[in-house]
Amino acid sequence: MNPVMLIAVPLIAAFISSLFAKRSSLLLLFAAFVNSVIAIAVSLSAINGSYSMGGWSPPYGIELVVTDMTRVLVPAVNILAFFAIVVYWRRQDSPGKYSIVYTISLAALNGILLTNDLFNLFVFLEIAGVSAYLLASTGKTGSSKVAAFKYLMIGSVGSILYLLGVVLVYATTGTLNISEIAARISLGQINGDVLLLSSLLFMIGLGVEAKLLPLNGWVPDVFTKSSGPATLVLASIYPLAMISAFIRVLLAVRDERTMGAVLVLGVATVIGGEVVAFGQKRLRRTLAYSSIAQSGLAILLVGVGTAGAIAASVMIIVNNALAKFVLFSVDGLAIEKIGSDDIEKITGFGRTSQVTGLVFTVSALSIAGMPLFMGFRAKLLVISSSFDTGLLIPVIILLAAAIEATYYFRWIFSLYKPPFSRVEPLKERLPLELLTIGIILAAVLVFLGTSSGETLAIFDRAGNFMEEIIFMGKTLIGGM
């Protein structure tokens, strides 16, 4: 199965739905379903390596690559997107007239995961970015538009800086192909100062979407003020693609000084996110700051840069995507049923529905890194791989994990505490789709946390993807 179908199917669906606006949500569901099937087929059957586009072979044309990392992330993105649409299918704030934006964002996210060309990555980042600004503006209040505008501003500045970095790299190496660039840099053919400048530009440009510390001011406002399905997509699916782009580009343009900066900023992001999340009184804000902290964790591992660290980084983002999906959809349900997700209002919500409480608890424990869940193995790998940099980073990560566990336990307890006022059992039935998908995702988290080590071998292989990329590049420049 050629992976280009993952980009083509949603794009065609988006074009068709611009003609039949009333049917656009059906087309979205269809595209997401077909994409999930193709993603599984690509993940299981496609051969690792390059797929050239438009009949131009790699150094001249755009190529898509399938690596072991793509194999993990592509099914995760597409299946979660399908689930997100199913969860909100019959609810009040279903994608509706915004369906076309979701369809295009699906195409762009797949493009980001698959492409092996710096400028093509820029185009897909912009498409994903513009879709994200639109998704951020779907909230009911006017302040969601202000949040979306601020997101647009900082996102555009980031993409300008990224473009500048791309052009500098092109001017020096004469190519836009990521594997060729990585191969030339690993052979030491590029001036170190150019490398430093362009990798710093990449760090800042991609850091906006990857939620690196000084650039993540947009996150809490966008995540709290946007509509339910948009938040779900932005919080659980976007980070998969954005952080994978960050990992690939920063490792290709490998510069030790920038890696040091990534490490320091990543640690600062983790601590900042966890500390602020601890003080929040609303569930959705807590989850938003926790997303920042999780991204910081995945980014600081890029700064460590070993294969084990990248494997840990991929595990962290997959764990974050699966768990945040459940947490944000339960939060959306609470807002819909109770009208608010303040810590006082939400007290006892877990008692009204056993299953909701259960899947929330499982996901929260997995994010917090408790044993038996996937998060535990991810955090274990994070700490063991960060020992390469000395003792300070693992200690800081453990400290941050302690803060994280504390506030997640507080939310779990308040979900089960008897409410202060009268108990008001919900009359309507809870949406079946949400419960089913919540149970599936919670089961996956438990399965990945308790299964034998062999199921996790795929993450270890994913951590080694850079060797493949550099090997492909060396073949391109004629093997040395």
Partner 1 sequence: MIQYFSMLLIAIGIYGLLSQRNLVKLVISLNIAEIGVNLFIVSIGYIEDGLVPIISSVNRTSSLVFVDPLPQALVLTSIVIGVGVTALALALIITIGKTKGSIDLTELGSSGGDDE
Q: Give the interface with partner 1 as residue ranges (CB under 8 A).
A: 119, 122-123, 126, 129-130, 133-134, 137, 141-143, 145-149, 152-153, 156-157, 160, 163-164, 167, 170-171, 176, 220-221, 224-225, 282, 285
Looking at beta carbons only, is 146 or 457 nearer to partner 1? 146
Residue 336 Cβ, how far from partner 1 at the closest point, in Å? Answer: 14
Nearest-approach distance from CB 217 to partner 1, in angstroms? 9
Residue 276's identity, in one-letter code, is V
Q: Find, among 190, 234, 244, 271, the residue nearest to 80 by Cα.
A: 234
Kindly state the tokens that stand for 78. Answer: 């597409």
| CA distance between the termini of the chain | 32
Q: How many CB atoms lie within 10 A of CB 63?
A: 24
Q: Which is nearer to partner 1, 163 or 268 (CB)?
A: 163
Cβ proximity to partner 1, 213 vs 263, nearer residue: 213
In whole angstroms, the minimum distance from the beta carbon of 144 to partner 1 comes to: 10
Distances (CA, A) of 321 to 33, 79, 296, 315, 364: 19, 11, 14, 10, 12
* Closer residue to partner 1, CB minimum distance, 205 or 357: 205
Nearest Cα to Cα of residue 272 among 343, 324, 316, 215: 215
DSSP 141: S
User: Which residue do the tokens 């979900």 mark?
Assistant: 415
Per the rule left: phi > 0, alpha: psi between -120 and 50, beta: everything else, 49 is left
Helix (H) or strand (E) holding 398: helix 392-416
CA distance 477 to 422: 72
Helix 192-209, helix 256-278: angle, nearest 10: 20
Q: Which is nearer to partner 1, 51 or 149 (CB)?
A: 149
Nearer to partner 1, 119 or 416 (CB): 119
Q: What does the DSSP 8-state code read for residue 235?
A: I
| DSSP 8-state code for residue 391 | S
Nearer to partner 1, 217 or 394 (CB): 217
CB of 148 to partner 1, least distance (A): 6
Q: Which two tokens stand for residue 466?
A: 């850079």
Of the pair 122, 408, the CB lying nearest partner 1 is at 122
- What minimum distance in Å lies between the beta carbon of 156 and partner 1? 5
φ/ψ of 476, rounded to 5, equals -65, -45
Nearer to partner 1, 220 or 305 (CB): 220
Element of type H or E holding 122: helix 118-136
Taking the complex as a whole, the smallest distance from the CB of residue 220 to partner 1 amounts, in Å, to 8
Angle at 314 between CA 50 and CA 155, to 5 degrees: 85
For the CB of residue 85, give the shortest distance to partner 1 in the complex, in Å.
23
